[in-house]
């Protein structure tokens, strides 16, 4: 097999020519794919819809679906069965008979204990809740872990992250609008103004995808929108796309403090890909906000960017601190479970097909830059430098591991 070039691989050509991949036993192109029912934090999404399962079956793969896996998104077991999926009566049956596990949230402790050696896992990692124990368990099993947050294609886009962030940005503003209502304990104001009554002030921290879609939605409501970010290029870009109807400013402590004094809504959307969210709003700033105002920390799954935030759940989504309503549900898109499932299906199915077409996960990672970038554990090694620095653990470069055949 001709060895394709690997982006960013700092090796002389001579080294690559000396390395020869181990001969792979032909198994055909059929793999067994497991879609478990999500158990963590009231997750209602499922990783792949029945239509996506039908595509995988048509490509010659076997799909095991956890009993009731699609109920939260209003997909019945019958729909999955009609698409060609096999309904697994138990988690142990699903995990033990699957080569590849595709989930929305990361496996919990019980699910990790059901995994077997050299399995492949595709799911979100949720950096805000990731632990060294979880990573070490995957490494002990030799699990190839591929995280939604890290899958980056050759053009630099993060396809799964972008899909979910578009939903998060939109839902953050929809949620804030509801929480401002008197029945929810808010200030009793509307986001958009009416004749003779000015609109609410919405402050968005971060000009990335979450911030962009939050700004679009807030403008649609008729709100006055301020977007702050440390990246001047990102601010220029969001002004270009959304026009001068928004106000932009650098996310300095001074500007953030001033903006929060008159904010009715604050959307936390400050995020660096593959890293924990930076905390840019201090408790002192929160205390300066007006009573009944709302904070939606949309990046709480990455640790959150507001000091007073703590992860909440769909059944108990809010709490008050200094008179300010905080909403910080990590899996916010779960409240639009059906839309989110279709969005995940659109992006995940092509990746799963690529893995199925390869003779092994090693070859799939070798030939697909998105999957390779997404890998954080591989053959008993941690392969993400950001995770290694976060937890003080050693790591190995994924491209070197693949090239050396370790």
| pLDDT tier at 187, thresholds 50, 70, 90 | very high
Give the Cα-Cα-Cα angle 377, 380, 383 (nearest 5 degrees): 35
Long-range residue pairs from 103-108, CB within 8 A, at least 24 positions apart, any chain: 103/35, 103/36, 103/38, 103/47, 104/38, 104/43, 104/45, 104/46, 104/47, 104/331, 104/334, 104/344, 105/38, 105/40, 105/41, 105/43, 105/331, 106/40, 106/130, 106/134, 108/39, 108/40
pLDDT in the model for residue 39: 85
How would residue 8 be classed by pLDDT, with cut points 50, 70 and 90? very low
Helix (H) or strand (E) run with residue 390 in it? helix 385-391
> Which pLDDT value is given to residue 15?
34
Query: What pLDDT band is residue 274 in, cutting at 50, 70 and 90?
Result: low
The verdict on whether 13 is a catalytic residue reads: no
- Name, in order, each residue with C-beta under 8 angstroms of 86's C-beta and a sequence gap of 6 or more: 62, 63, 64, 65
Evaluate if residue 373 carries a pLDDT over 80.
yes
pLDDT of residue 81 exceeding 60: yes
What is the rounded average pLDDT for all residues in the chain?
90
Question: Is residue 403 pLDDT above 90, yes or no?
Answer: no
The pLDDT value given to residue 21: 41
10 Å CB burial of residue 83 (0-12, 13-18, 19+) is buried
378 pLDDT higher than 60: yes
> Positive or negative CA dihedral for 206, 208, 209, 215?
positive
Q: Is the pLDDT of residue 317 over 90?
A: yes
Mean pLDDT (whole number) for 361-390: 93
How is the chain split among helix, strand and coil, in percent rounded to 5? Answer: 45, 15, 40
Question: Which of 61, 99, 126, 297 is flagged as catalytic?
Answer: 126
Question: Domain spanning 13-157+337-404 has what CATH number?
Answer: 3.40.50.720
- Both tokens of residue 235? 């601010």
* pLDDT for the residue 289: 97
CATH 3.40.50.720 domain span(s) along the chain:
13-157+337-404, 162-329
Q: Is the pLDDT of residue 180 over 80?
A: yes
User: CATH for 162-329?
Assistant: 3.40.50.720
Q: Which residue has the higher pLDDT, 161 or 97?
A: 97
In the chain, the percentage of residues whose pLDDT exceeds 70 is 92
Q: What's the mean pLDDT in 286-296? A: 97
**Structure tokens of 198?**
């000015």
Is 240 a catalytic site residue?
A: no
Distance CA(169)–CA(214), nearest Å, equals 4
- Catalytic option among 99, 229, 297, 301: 301
CA 195/CA 213 separation, integer angstroms: 26
Nearest CA to 404 out of 4, 12, 16 is that of 16
The pLDDT value recorded for residue 406 is 59
How much is the average pLDDT of 290-302?
94
Q: Is 217 helix (H, G, I), strand (E, B) or coil?
A: helix
Provide mean pLDDT across the span 165-175.
Answer: 96
Q: Would you state the pLDDT for residue 41?
A: 64
Binned at pLDDT 50, 70 and 90, residue 126 comes out as confident
Task: Rank 112-121, 151-160, 270-279 by mean pLDDT and report only the highest.
Answer: 112-121
- Nearest 5°: CA angle at 127, between 123 and 128? 125
Is residue 308 scored above 70 in pLDDT? yes
Does residue 127 carry a pLDDT above 50? yes
**Residue 12, pLDDT above cutoff 70:** no
pLDDT for 405: 66
Burial class (CB in 10 A: 0-12, 13-18, 19+), 316: exposed
CA–CA distance, 171 with 192 (Å, rounded to integer): 16
For residue 42, what are its two tokens?
């009231």
Identify the pLDDT of residue 404: 77
Residues 334-349 have a mean pLDDT of 96
Does the pLDDT value for residue 27 go beyond 80?
Answer: no
Q: Is the pLDDT of residue 6 over 80?
A: no
What is the mean pLDDT of the segment spanning 6-23? 36
């Amino acid at each position: 097999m001709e060895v394709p070039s690997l982006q960013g691989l700092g090796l002389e050509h001579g080294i690559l020519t000396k390395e020869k991949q181990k001969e792979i036993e032909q198994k055909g192109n059929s793999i067994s794919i497991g879609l478990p029912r999500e158990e963590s934090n009231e997750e209602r999404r499922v990783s792949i819809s029945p239509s996506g399962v039908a595509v995988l079956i048509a490509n010659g793969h076997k799909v095991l679906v956890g009993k009731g896996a699609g109920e939260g998104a209003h997909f019945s077991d019958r729909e999955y069965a009609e698409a060609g999926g096999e309904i697994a009566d138990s988690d142990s049956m699903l995990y033990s008979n699957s080569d590849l596990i595709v989930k929305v949230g990361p496996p919990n402790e019980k699910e990790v204990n059901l995994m077997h050696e050299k399995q492949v896992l595709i799911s979100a990692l949720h950096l805000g809740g990731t632990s060294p124990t979880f990573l070490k368990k995957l490494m002990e099993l030799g699990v190839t872990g591929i995280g939604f947050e890290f899958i980056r294609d050759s053009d630099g886009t993060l396809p799964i992250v972008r899909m979910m962030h578009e939903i998060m940005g939109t839902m953050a503003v929809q949620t804030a609008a509801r929480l401002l209502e008197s029945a929810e304990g808010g200030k009793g104001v509307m986001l958009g103004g009416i004749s003779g009554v000015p609109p609410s002030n919405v402050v968005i921290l971060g000009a990335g995808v979450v911030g962009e879609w939050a700004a679009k939605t807030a403008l649609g409501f008729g709100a006055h929108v301020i977007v702050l970010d440390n990246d001047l290029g990102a601010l220029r870009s969001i002004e270009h796309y959304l026009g001068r109807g928004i106000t932009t400013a650098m996310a300095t402590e001074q500007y953030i403090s001033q903006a929060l004094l008159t904010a009715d809504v604050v959307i936390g959307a400050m995020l660096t890909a593959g890293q924990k969210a930076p905390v840019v709003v201090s408790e002192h700033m929160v205390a300066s906000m007006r009573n009944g105002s709302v904070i939606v920390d949309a990046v709480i799954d990455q640790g959150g960017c507001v000091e007073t935030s703590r992860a909440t759940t769909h059944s108990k989504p809010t709490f008050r601190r200094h008179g300010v309503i905080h909403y910080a549900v990590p899996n916010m898109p779960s409240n639009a479970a059906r839309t989110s499932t279709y969005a995940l299906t659109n992006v995940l199915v092509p990746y799963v097909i690529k893995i199925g077409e390869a003779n092994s996960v090693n070859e799939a990672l070798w030939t697909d830059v998105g999957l390779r970038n997404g890998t954080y554990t591989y053959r008993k090694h941690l392969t993400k430098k950001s995770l290694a620095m976060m937890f003080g653990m050693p790591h190995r470069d994924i491209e070197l591991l693949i090239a050396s055949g370790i």
